[in-house]
Amino acid sequence: MPKYVIEREIPGAGNLTDADLRAISQKSVDVLNGMGPQIQWLHSYVTGDKVYCVYLAPDEESIREHAKRVGVPANRISAVRRLIDPATAE
């Protein structure tokens, strides 16, 4: 299944409380469960004003639909072409 990185512009994201993040996460998971197993949220990175999410999905449209249903932006969706890490240097 294709992997995607989604950039979400959310002003003040880094200042969200644990309760805020839990509520957003619960809503996201509820929507994912309703959409079926073809789309999966792996994890997210929260920075100052953005959230970067990593998903497995059949296509970008599935990710856009999920974002719409949750009520969060999907400002940029990038397909992951390859993965590199320190082992790549060996």
User: pTM for the complete prediction?
Assistant: 0.92
Instruction: Name the class of domain 3-82.
Output: alpha beta
pLDDT at 75: 98
Confidence of residue 68 (pLDDT cuts 50, 70, 90): very high
Q: Where in the chain are the domains?
A: 3-82
Q: Cα dist. 49→12, 14, 15, 20, 40 in Å?
A: 5, 6, 9, 15, 23
Confidence of residue 53 (pLDDT cuts 50, 70, 90): very high
Mean pLDDT throughout 42-71?
A: 98
pLDDT at 60: 97
Dist CA 28 CA 62 (whole Å): 13
